[in-house]
Amino acid sequence: MNLSTVILAAGKGKRMYSETPKVLHPLAGKTLLEHVVNSSYAVNPHHQPIVVYGHEGEKVKKTLAHLNVAWVEQSQQLGTGHALLQALTHIPDDHNVLVLYGDVPLISAETLKSFIDTTPKNSIGILTATFPDPSGLGRIIRNKEGQITQIIEDKDSTDAQRRIQEINSGIYILPANLLKKWLPQLQNQNAQKEYYLTDIIAMAVSENIAIHSSQPGAYEEVLGINDRVQLAKLERQYQLRQAEKLLRQGVTLHDPARFDLRGELSVGSDVIIDINVIIEGKVQIGNHCLIGPNCVLRNVIIGDHVEIKANSVIDGAEIAEGCSVGPFARLRPGTVLSPRSHIGNFVEIKNSEIGTGTKVNHLTYLGDSDVGKNVNVGAGTITCNYDGINKHRTTIGDDAFIGSNSQLVAPVTIGAGATIGAGSTITRDAPAHQLTLSRGQQRSIENWQRPKKKES
């Protein structure tokens, strides 16, 4: 089947109450429209999908400029039939047209592939679904033989028709040559005063064109988003799907309802993920890892036997096997942890390499640093890497000991085996295997009294 895909994405989304076009609202870290475009790529990889845009169209195009799509404008939003008509000049007569919607993000590639495969050539395919509550949706009207004869919108239907639970998803496969004949004939004599794409079904029936229907794997796949309540519900539907996939792969999720995957995740065996963990970007987790509660992992590579403790934010880091991170740790982009290094509570590391077996356990900032093996960094240590204009690196050799509350003013090198006395401000290189410290002379003042609070 020669197939062109058209994604209708011109709606304003008034009920979102937002300056952002509806199709740009995010679901699981991607815009609604991106989800649909990705499904279209999966079923029709050799065709550039056509996106019909309208409201705030330039914003939509600019935001999604990275997508490989053809953009077609619907300058006036006059209904779905009118929207599809704008795309027809880009479609060859011998093609079939797969019609999708930019606000129906959960439609799966599997459902679309089955739909395409089961729709005979030169016929019309309709993806229908049976809804527990079909209120507000167009109903499928069938004759006594079960053949589809009409689609009627909710606002135009009778009480008896509103009791029908089979709805029209709006997703079709339609011959382009018939669309080019039928769409210009559409009328807007309806409650919405719009040109309904659904009206072509009656035209097909009158010309004895075969109509075939198919249903998705789950009715949630064809749910559209019109307001933030529906967006929130579909977000949870999506997340529960992702959680179920991970559970079936052997991942332990302490509560699947409190897990968010907003990117791509690959996991090894015997991985445990606690509650309220957020995965963003591309994340890789090795074998026998434990991710504690309330953590954010973004573009991270994690080796085997790693523990990320509660309330840690890991962004753009590589963590080797046997490491321990957190609780309340922050690893920023460019951080590389070597095997068996320990990063403790309230530690922030940025653009630094931490050597094997090194411990940075408390209240520390290491930025733009190269830290050797088996180094101990005491509580309250910071690298002063920024002079207000430029960033500078700090190098700490193997087996060094950095005393608590030290400031290492970059660029500076701490030699292998060196010891930095607690409370020191180091502005020059510290020799290997020596004690280096800088402190003012200690003295005591007799008869000194603490200030007293003034009485009001």
For 92-108, the pLDDT digits (tens) are: 999 999 999 999 999 99
Tokens of 210: 């075969």
DSSP 21: -
Same domain, 287 and 187: no
Q: How far apart are CA 46 and CA 48, in angstroms?
A: 7
Q: Any idea of the CA torsion for 297, 302, 307, 308, to the nearest 10 degrees?
A: -20
* Residues with catalytic function: 362
The number of distinct structural domains making up the chain is 2
Place of tokens 């880009």: 90
Which pLDDT does position 96 carry in this prediction? 95
Same domain, 69 and 89: yes
> What phi, psi does 129 have (nearest 5°)?
-155, 150
* Separation of CA 339 from chain center: 30
Query: Angle at Cα 154 formed by Cα 150 and Cα 159, nearest 5°?
Result: 90
Same domain, 404 and 285: yes
Inside any domain, residue 79: yes
Tens of pLDDT, residue by residue over 275-295, are: 999 999 999 999 999 999 999
Residue 416 has pLDDT above 70, yes or no: yes
Same domain, 208 and 288: no
Same domain, 99 and 211: yes
Q: What percent of the chain has pLDDT over 70?
A: 100
Euclidean distance between the first and the last CA atom of the chain, given in angstroms as a whole number: 88
Beta bridge partners of 171: 127
Q: Give the global pTM.
A: 0.89
Same domain, 255 and 216: no
Tens of pLDDT, residue by residue over 227-279, are: 999 999 999 999 999 999 999 999 999 999 999 999 999 999 999 999 999 99
Residue 456 has pLDDT above 70, yes or no: no
The boundaries of the domain holding residue 147 are: 3-222
Tokens of 33: 């429209």
Same domain, 151 and 215: yes
Which pLDDT does position 302 carry in this prediction? 98
Q: How far apart are CA 326 and CA 348, in angstroms?
A: 10
Inside any domain, residue 54: yes
Averaged pLDDT, 301-330: 98
Which pLDDT does position 12 carry in this prediction? 84
DSSP 342: E
